Amino acid sequence: MISFNYETDFKLLDEAKTSSWISKIIEHHNCKKEEISYVFCDDEYLHRLNVQYLNHDTLTDIISFDYSIGKTISGDIFISVERVEDNAKYFDVDFNIELHRVIIHGILHYCGFKDKTEDDAKLMRAKEDEALFMLKEMS
């Protein structure tokens, strides 16, 4: 089950389509979906989590808590809508494209993709692009 929760004045345009897309990406990577909870929030909310749980005193666009076991995907994904907006402007991309990139980024981590090294980050970006293409094909 995928749930969407809101701690800020924001709402996904199409929760059903987004949920279907996420499920499709999980299956594409030969994983099984369990409980996945998204929480959309502001910078302040996510900053508190970053300090409290990760001991990082920085702003970020996403924090994910991975409860996956093997190929069974489960976790809580927190996304700062403010960071996504700023990043979309910075990278000169549409807000919804950046939002969906961040949404799927957490799932790709759960599927086993990393982004700490340059090579891993390139692969992660390619998988994000592939997922965004699949979303576009669903339209």
Q: Whole-angstrom Cα distance, residue 86 to residue 47?
A: 15
Supply the pLDDT for residue 137.
94
* Closest of 44, 10, 130 to residue 52, by C-alpha: 44
What pTM, to 2 d.p., does this model score?
A: 0.95
47 is in an annotated binding site: no
Q: What percent of the chain shows pLDDT beyond 90? A: 99
Could you tell me the CA-to-CA distances from 99 to 30, 69, 75, 114 in Å, in that order? 24, 26, 18, 19
Interior CA angle at 107 toward 88 and 43, to 5°? Answer: 45
56 is in an annotated binding site: no
Give the helix ranges, DSSP H, for 5-138: 15-28, 43-54, 81-91, 95-110, 118-138
Instruction: List the CATH number of the domain containing 57.
Output: 3.40.390.30
User: Which residue segment(s) compose the domain that 88 sits in?
Assistant: 2-138
Q: Whole-angstrom Cα distance, residue 96 to residue 61?
A: 14
pLDDT in tens, 48-79: 999 999 999 999 999 999 999 999 999 999 99
pLDDT-derived band at 129 (thresholds 50, 70, 90) equals very high
Inform me whether the pLDDT recorded for 108 exceeds 80.
yes
pLDDT-derived band at 99 (thresholds 50, 70, 90) equals very high
Supply the pLDDT for residue 122.
97
Supply the pLDDT for residue 139.
77
Number of domains in the chain: 1
109 is in an annotated binding site: yes
Q: For the residues 106-117, what does the mean pLDDT come to?
A: 96
